[in-house]
Amino acid sequence: MSINLEKTLVVYNSEIEGARDFAVLVAEKLQNSSLVSISDIDKSQKPTLVVVIGGDGSYLRCAREFSDDEVPIFGFNMGHLGFLVQAKPDELTCATEQILGGKFKIENRMMLETVVNGKKYLALNDFVVKGKTFSRTSVYELYINDNFVSRYLADGLIISTPTGSTAYTLSAGGPVISPALPSIAIVPICPHTLNARPIVVGADEKIRIKCADCNTAEYKLTADGQEEVTASSEIEISRSKTNAKILLLSEGENNFYTILREKFGWGVAPKK
């Protein structure tokens, strides 16, 4: 597969020790590259490829920033778990040679969107809805395609893509979903009942959440755990028309199930 490397943007997280120095090495390997700190991203640069040096948080921000322009994103992991940032620093030469040689594939990953106070917000992982006071439970009413589904007394609700199913959703007891399956997971956070369970619905379903008592009828919404906004007592979330473009190397074990096994330690027999 070929890709336009005419203008590669190497984005580094300056809060991670050694990230900028490593970004310089990456830029030297890839032609026509420029460097920028993640805090100074400027979409007007119009890159044809974005290489992220950092962790999943840095990757998620770049995915949201450049999804409208359909720019492929690749990442080197200098963070912690690193589920989205694919390569390790010691794989610099191998990874860049594969990119230059066209030995990769690009996956379209669905995103979610909502409009709050006239502004559109995107999420590659998830939207999280919580009451204005984070330390208190609130009552949330869930509607799907305008049909009332359930009322939750909980700390909040997670609305997740398949990509986000291995993040906050997993920690809250939600299912792991293959990114090939177009779907949305709805997971209550610490529900104050034993009959509240996660729900997986089709990707094209329209989700509406009403906060019945969210402290003066307001809630806080976060996108991918990063962008936060305070809004009124109702929010609508749906599949975005734009996708994140994930660049995956062809060589090596980089498929979803291998990453699951390696990152979460699945399939390992207990020690005697």
Residues with a catalytic annotation lie at 56
Is residue 37 within 8 Å of residue 61, measured between CB atoms? no
Degrees to nearest 5, angle at CA 25 with 23 and 26: 65
SS3 for the chain is CCCCCCCEEEEECCCCCCHHHHHHHHHHHCCCEEEEEHHHCCHHHCCCEEEEEECHHHHHHHHHHHHHHCCEEEEEECCCCCCCCCECHHHHHHHHHHHHCCCEEEEEEEEEEEEECCEEEEECCEEEEEECCCCCCEEEEEEECCEEEEEEEECEEEEECCHHHHCHHHHCCCCCCCCCCCEEEEEEECCCCCCCCCEEEECCCCEEEEECCCCCCCEEEEECCCEEEEECCEEEEEEEEEEEEEEEECCCCCCHHHHHHHHHCCCCCCCC
Angle ∠(16,102,167) on CA atoms, nearest 5: 40
